[in-house]
Amino acid sequence: MALHHQFLLSLAIIFLFTSSSNAQGPTSPGYKPSTKVGSLGFNQGFKNLWGPEHQSLVQGTLSIRLDKAHGGSGFKSLKSYASGYIGASMKLHPGYTAGVVTCLYLSNTEQHPTDHDEIDIEFLGTTPGKPYTFSTNVYMKGTGDGKNTLGREVGFNLWFDPTKDFHHYAILWNPSEIIFFVDDVPIRHYPKKSATTFPERAMYVYGSIWDGSSWATEKGKYKADYKYEPFIGQYKDFKVSGCAEKALAACKPIPGSPTGSTGLSKQQIAAMAWVHKSHKAYDYCQNLSRDRAKTPEC
């Protein structure tokens, strides 16, 4: 009996150690790109795009909200960029948020409405007890693999609750790569393999909150429920630095790694590997129904 109790105690200690280790998140990536870019006040770099009655700025924190009567709200950068670092600290709405999409992204859909490019950070709403999905996506000329509804999506369930506090989310877009960061941890690295698999035209920076009930939560299984309105997304500590040229090829790379202007260090790669092993929810490259001929980067 004593040996049995000792065995159970050993299992408990292992479980507690493992749980606490996982809860701590990835090891330090050793480099913080966000510290290389100065903060920007919302009015210095952005303007309301739609839903002004659902947008408020208080002591540097922008709140945008969604309700049934007036819809959501969105904002847009004053300038377009052909490469650069864009980021913001964000805090999400807690509780039932199924169908609600809160995002920060690059797009040129207004300039190229039928064949736009896009680089997305999207939080897909959820039901109580389930984590938000943090979705990253890349579009080129309106398509993912030849169908307008598909992109190059990779999604994650983060190692913290994004409704409890502000965390910094960012996109680094260089002539040869795109890197997505969460609190300076690189979670996705998308290198350029060819001109057909990489966005190369200038884009504006956008943020918005809106109703994506048809697809956002478990492929549309759960819809927005407006008895829980208003749904609020908060943004602060905006960071935008980049090349204002019209074409990516004319821009110089922005450092995302201490080892040079492009690529990731070994420490950053190790941190990203931990995220993929512990928190990746889905990956378009692992979708066997996709036409691999049209996603050669996989």
Taking the complete model, does pTM exceed 0.85, yes or no?
A: yes
Residue 53 is among the residues annotated as catalytic for this protein = no
Which position among 118, 177, 229, 297 bears the catalytic label?
118
Q: Where are the beta strands (DSSP E) in the chain?
A: 46-50, 55-58, 61-66, 73-81, 83-91, 100-107, 118-124, 133-139, 154-156, 167-174, 177-182, 185-191, 203-211, 231-243, 280-283
Residue 12's SS3 state is: helix
Of the listed ranges 128-142, 185-199, 249-263, the one predicted with least confidence: 249-263
Residue with tokens 């409405």: 113
Under 8 Å between Cβ of 125 and 114: no
Under 8 Å between Cβ of 233 and 209: yes
Cα–Cα distance measured from residue 285 to residue 298, given in angstroms and rounded to the nearest whole number: 5
Radius of gyration of the chain measured on its C-alpha atoms: 20
Tell me the per-residue pLDDT of 24-68, one tens digit each, with 9 for 90 and over: 788 899 999 999 999 999 999 999 999 999 999 999 999 999 999
Q: Which residues of 57-80 are buried (b: 16+ CB within 10 A; e: fewer)?
A: eeeeebbbbbbeeebbbbbbbeeb
Under 8 Å between Cβ of 73 and 198: no
Cα–Cα distance measured from residue 289 to residue 171, given in angstroms and rounded to the nearest whole number: 28
Residue 122 is among the residues annotated as catalytic for this protein = yes
Task: Look at residue 150 and tell me whether its pLDDT is greater than 70.
Answer: no
| Structure confidence at residue 47 (pLDDT) | 97
Task: Look at residue 241 and tell me whether its pLDDT is greater than 70.
Answer: yes
Between these two residues, 196 and 135, which has the higher pLDDT value? Answer: 135
Over residues 70-90, the mean pLDDT reads 97
Over residues 222-246, the mean pLDDT reads 95
Q: Output DSSP code: residue 59.
A: T
Which position among 122, 153, 245, 297 bears the catalytic label?
122
Task: Look at residue 14 and tell me whether its pLDDT is greater than 50.
Answer: no
Cα atoms in the Cβ-side hemisphere of radius 13 Å centred on 100: 30
**Which CATH number applies to 31-294: 2.30.30.90, 2.60.120.200, 2.40.40.20, 3.30.470.30?**
2.60.120.200
